[in-house]
Amino acid sequence: MKTSNDQNLMKGIMSAAYHVRQAYGPGLPESAYQFALVDELRSRGIQAERKGADRTGVLVEDHLLLGLRCVDRITAGHSKQMSSSLRKSRFKQGLLLNFNSTFIRQGAYPVSL
């Protein structure tokens, strides 16, 4: 069962992602969303840093990896990439966020090992 800290963190992440999506809209490069989301999370007091060779990953509170995408739909390939990133970084939880979704909640896909 998720702790209230995990639930509060997820609410904060989703709220920040919603704010970024509302401010910038769809269609930007994934790296633009990454910079904006890291800034928004930090402004909310949530520790966040850019991560990953593709520069679309965000490490949140040293234990949750976010994979940012701006695609028509998340595919099995995106999930496999996220799983691979989780294994390489030795984290167990990840969240794929698709900034091209009409609603950010519809574009959120949890990934865990």
- DSSP letter string over 54-71? TS-EEEETTTEEEEEE-S
**Over the stretch 21-71, which tens digit does the pLDDT of each residue have?**
999 988 899 889 999 999 999 999 999 999 865 566 899 998 889 999 999
| Structure tokens belonging to residue 108 | 């959120």
For 38, the domain range is 4-112
Backbone angles phi, psi at 30, to 5 degrees: -60, -35
Give the chain's domain count: 1
Residue 5 has what pLDDT? 79
Global pTM value? 0.87
What CATH number did the domain enclosing 76 receive? 3.40.1350
Report the amino acid identity of residue 3: T
